Structure 1
Amino acid sequence: MIYKFRCFICKLFFYSIISSIINSTILFIAQADIVTSIRPLAFIIAGVADGVSNIQILIPDGSSPHDYSLKLSDFKKIKQADLVVFIGPDMEFFLKNINKLLPAKKQLVLSEEINIKRLLLSSFSKKPEFNHISDYSNENHYKHHHSEYNMHIWLSPKIANIAAHNIYNRLIKIYPKQKQKLILNLYNFKKNITQNDKKITNILKSSKNKGYYVFHDAYNYFEKYYMLSPLGYFTINPEIQPGAKKLYEIKTQLIKNKVKCIFLEPQFKPNVINTISRNTKVNFGTLDPLGVGIEIRQDSYMKFLVKLSEQYASCLN
């Protein structure tokens, strides 16, 4: 009798352990999501993955991808992810060793996708509309630490459209049972981008041919797509202070009243801009390239672009 009772207890203990393992496995699977680096990429992903998977963002609002460091909780998110989507180590340097955490099939590096790579703009454009007048030492410092390409690709509606398709191609392999939902989401995303493009063109129609400076070189894709007229920027890399030569050239433009607006960013508020613009009639505006405060939904990317275009128009007009 005692022997049978002990066996019964052993069986209960064994099944308890097995149940615990199964529940832990289920919990682990349930926590696996799509992980991305910055909020604007989450906007694009949500356009495709809405109703299919949760999206987690590594970089919190108010932080910059230029100087972010991974936390322990970030490592856990990455290891448990079904898919990690980011631009590339030239933008998110903190993800340069991601191959040690995840297999290639669970990574989507957008800047390395062939259909996106061919559309990348140079970081050092020689076209006159982009007046790169930073001093020599700052340019060399940037070249040494950053890509030769401008990696702010989420600001291009054209590239965002392609990125959405690339994300879709990965997700139908990960979630084959959700194929019809993914197809419908992708269709709606592309349709909404086309409709949104007309709305933004109308918002910006009075902003063309008006000179302005932005804080850092992040907006080339958006500006070229909507044919805006930037005079230049204060710095190539927001972590590097603008050089004396650049500040002198900008001050000269301000004195000649050729600058309609100077755009700052919520993440960076350098005092040097206030100093050189003193006693001028220049307007100040704010551009938010990261879409802080915009909720992650299927139409978030459209709202992000509209908000950015309204920020341009409110200062230039």
Structure 2
Amino acid sequence: MLQKNTLLFAALSLALSSAAVQRADAAVVASLKPIGFIVSAIADGVTETQVLLPDGASEHDYSLRPSDVKRLQNADLVVWVGPEMEAFMNKSTQSISEKNKVTIAQLEGVKPLLMKGGDDDDHDDDEGHAHAGHESEKGDVHHHHGDYNMHLWLSPEIARLSAVAIHDKLVELMPQSRAKLDANLKDFEAQLAAADKQVGHELAPLKGKGYFVFHDAYGYYEKQYGLTPLGHFTVNPEIQPGAQRLHQIRTQLVEQKATCVFAEPQFRPAVVEAVARGTSVRMGTLDPLGTNIQLSKESYATFLRQLANQYSSCLKGD
């Protein structure tokens, strides 16, 4: 009897250990870091969150490595915006079952919230010059290569809807963890409401202060908090704009009485300095990917607040 129990225990141990090996790579895989902020809040204490796009890489030209493809195939759940934003994932996600995938842009609650015309436009003309955004009769900035602005993580409400969808999928996949997942979602919604209120209060005095961004990414955030962009320029960090191009940008900054011009971490400061030189326009940096923020339960709220600080420090002149 003792020998039989020993053999049974050994067989059970072997089965469990092989299952553990098979599941070693399994986790929730988020396409981009800010998506990882939302995922990590819901998955906290239940399963690991991994981010596919490495810090410093661009979603515009990233190519999946074989190890990335393996991670996607082994994931319990894959969360991404959709093929319009992460084109590099499109082929690899087609074979992933719908029950193991959240495509944020396609969520029923998100579709009515999509904003027209702000998709990435990291395309240069034949001379290697980046194009400036132009204003319509209503003053809206339009320059895009897709129908919708896909920087959906910059909308607090879309982040909340994404969190609900992630929660619901994980409950289906891991019903034994329902209580923890429910608590995590409740915590996320409370943190989000508090951060949204704080950011709204911080940015309210800055309504009407005009500024330019280099990358037309921030429409959802700007709409939420009543900010006033005057336009945008997409600057290829690999190509230094020529003197004529810089003069055009500088003229627009002065004519439209811009308070501030914002770069992003991946753009060389020399480009920003060249644009603002000889004007009274201040220089700032906006980080739409939260590259310096670590994944945690609080990281999305931290991300919203960090962007608010980046806007206000430049627009106020702190």
TM-score (norm 2): 0.83
* Inter-partner Cα distance in structure 1 for 2:212 and 2:290: 20
Q: Which residue of structure 2 lines up, in the alignment, with residue 85 of structure 1?
A: 79
The answer to whether the aligner puts 1:33 opposite 2:27 as a matched pair is yes
* Inter-partner Cα distance in structure 2 for 1:165 and 1:68: 28
Q: Contact 1:192–1:302 at 8 Å: present in 2 too?
A: yes
Summarize the Cα distance change of 1:88–1:236 in structure 2 as closer, same or farther, 3 Å threshold.
farther
* Inter-partner Cα distance in structure 2 for 1:251 and 1:128: 23
Q: For residues 281-312 of structure 1, what are the alpha-carbon distances to aligned partners after superposition, in whole Å with 9 as ceiling and x for unaligned?
A: 11000000001121111111000100110000
The offset of 1:113, in angstroms, is 1.2
Mean alpha-carbon deviation: is it higher for 245-254 or for 79-88?
245-254
The answer to whether the aligner puts 1:107 opposite 2:101 as a matched pair is yes
Mean alpha-carbon deviation: is it higher for 23-32 or for 249-258?
249-258
* Inter-partner Cα distance in structure 2 for 1:244 and 1:107: 47
Summarize the Cα distance change of 1:191–1:245 in structure 2 as closer, same or farther, 3 Å threshold.
farther
The answer to whether the aligner puts 1:277 opposite 2:272 as a matched pair is no
Q: For residues 151-208 of structure 1, what are the alpha-carbon distances to aligned partners after superposition, in whole Å with 9 as ceiling and x for unaligned?
A: 0000000111111111111111011011111111111111111111121112212221
Mean alpha-carbon deviation: is it higher for 179-188 or for 235-244?
235-244
The CA RMSD measured in Å over matched residues stands at: 2.9
Q: Aligned with 1:291: secondary structure?
A: coil
* Inter-partner Cα distance in structure 2 for 1:197 and 1:17: 53
Q: Which structure is richer in relative contact order (CA contacts within 8 A, separation 6 or more)? A: 1
* Inter-partner Cα distance in structure 2 for 1:255 and 1:236: 19
The structure with the largest alpha-carbon Rg is 1
Q: Aligned with 2:262: secondary structure?
A: strand
* Inter-partner Cα distance in structure 2 for 1:155 and 1:249: 29
Q: 2:90 aligns with which of 96, 107, 120?
A: 96
Partner AA of 1:131 in structure 2: V
Partner AA of 1:26 in structure 2: A
Q: Aligned with 2:83: secondary structure?
A: coil
* Inter-partner Cα distance in structure 2 for 1:171 and 1:199: 30
Summarize the Cα distance change of 1:243–1:279 in structure 2 as closer, same or farther, 3 Å threshold.
closer
The offset of 1:244, in angstroms, is 10
Q: Which residue of structure 1 lines up, in the alignment, with residue 67 of structure 2?
A: 73
1:1-317 aligned within 5 A:
23-123=17-117, 126=136, 128-132=138-142, 143=145, 147-235=146-234, 250-256=249-255, 258-269=257-268, 272-317=271-316
* Inter-partner Cα distance in structure 2 for 1:107 and 1:280: 48
Q: How many residues align?
A: 293
The offset of 1:98, in angstroms, is 2.4
Mean alpha-carbon deviation: is it higher for 269-278 or for 51-60?
269-278
* Structure 1 residue runs without a partner (length 5+): 1-11, 133-138
Identity %: 44
* Inter-partner Cα distance in structure 1 for 2:242 and 2:110: 32
TM-score (norm 1): 0.83
Q: Which residue of structure 1 lines up, in the alignment, with residue 125 of structure 2?
A: none
Q: Which residue of structure 1 lines up, in the alignment, with residue 124 of structure 2?
A: none
Q: Contact 2:237–2:268 at 8 Å: present in 1 too?
A: no
